[in-house]
A and B are shown apart, each in its own frame.
Chain A
């Protein structure tokens, strides 16, 4: 079980990647909006899409951790 807990913790580390990715994307989006405020709508939708996709990694890690803890 302790091995499983450690495995789950490692799986949850995918959150780091998602966090870095989303932070990077948001920073760039802020820069883009500052440069071109009139294009904020398109930038926002692109940002939302990118964040959703980047967040997917974290979610997969989270699901994996849950599976390891509760099922495995």
Chain B
């Protein structure tokens, strides 16, 4: 039991891969390195896939790409409304990043979303997006007025939500991935042969995709809530 706890603790810690010798040493964690790998893969895939786009005769890859982007656009449009255009690329980026981060466990790398710093950063960005959009499209006074809706009595709850929403987003993603990771580690500890492969389909693939959808969906919904009613 103690040995298991030790390995678990070691797995859970944020390992520092190397330190940039600058300003007294900036530690670069494993999650950041894996993020860089994911980014590089995404960028190369993007450059390869969007090399020859044609308006008149799209290939199979281009059709798939276009339908994916159209699906994203439609999703953002229905949830945010008139000002959907600047949000779609960010939400698509976050979706791709989280999905790949959750799924990269299959390739034997540590998922970056298991590091609470990554999910905290994602949640912070979402918070900035949600409340930035609220003030950007309603003006300063209108944005403040949004906190007193639907009735002024709910003002403290709305203000609490400013903190609770990103915290919940951060913890939900982190907790799910971490929980899946811990269960997988336990399974590997108990039965290292067949069971992990089967359960990894659920915990790595299904749960990863579901959590991606939930994160992006909630961010979109909250953003839309902040700016939608003005129409």
Given contact pairs A66-B178, A70-B9, A45 touches B168 in the complex (Cβ within 8 A): no
In the bound complex, CA of A66 to CA of B5 (Å): 12
Question: Across the two chains, which residue of chain B brings its CB closest to A53?
Answer: B168
B175 at the interface (CB under 8 A from A): yes
Closest chain B residue, CB of each to CB of A45 = B217
- By the criterion CB–CB under 8 Å, are B12 and A63 in contact? no
A60 interface residue, CB < 8 Å from B? yes
Indicate with 1 or 0, residue by residue over A30-51, a CB within 8 angstroms of chain B CB atoms: 0000000000000001001100
B217 and A48 contact, CB distance less than 8 A: yes
- The answer to the question of B73 belonging to the interface, with a C-beta cut-off of 8 Å to chain A, is no
Query: Within 8 Å CB of A66, what residues of B?
Result: 178
Identify which of A49, A59, A62, A63 contacts B217 (C-beta below 8 A).
Answer: A49
Within 8 A of A (CB), among B163-209: 168, 171-172, 174-176, 178-179
Q: Are A62 and B214 in contact (CB under 8 A)?
A: no
Overall SS of chain A's interface: helix
- CB-CB < 8 A to A49: which residues of B? 217-218, 221
Query: Would B175 and A52 count as touching, CB distance under 8 A?
Result: no
Main secondary structure of the interface of B (DSSP, over half): helix
The count of residues in chain A whose C-beta lies closer than 8 Å to any C-beta of chain B is: 13
How far does the alpha carbon of A56 sit from the alpha carbon of B175 in the complex, in Å?
9
Distance between A64 CB and nearest chain B CB, rounded to angstroms:
10
Contact A59 B171 (CB under 8 A): yes
Contacts of B214 in A (CB 8 A): 48, 52
Q: How far is the CB of A52 from chain B (nearest CB, A)?
A: 4
Contacts A48-B217, A52-B218 given: A60-B12 contact, CB under 8 Å?
no
On whether the beta carbons of B172 and A52 are closer than 8 Å, the reply is yes
Chain A residue contacts of B175, Cβ below 8 A: 59-60, 62-63
Measured between C-beta atoms, what is the minimum distance from B204 to chain A in Å? 18
Task: Name A48's closest neighbour in chain B (CB-CB).
Answer: B217
- Chain B residue nearest to A69 in the complex (CB): B5
Flag whether B64 is at the interface (Cβ < 8 A): no
Let me know if B213 is at the binding interface, CB within 8 A: yes
Q: Which residue of B lies closest to A58 (CB)?
A: B175
Of B9, B172, B218, B221, the contact of A59 (CB 8 Å cutoff):
B172
Interface residues in chain B, defined as those with a beta carbon under 8 Å from any beta carbon in chain A: 9, 12, 168, 171-172, 174-176, 178-179, 213-214, 217-218, 221
8 sampled A-B residue pairs with Cβ under 8 A? A48-B213, A52-B217, A55-B172, A59-B176, A60-B175, A63-B174, A63-B175, A70-B12
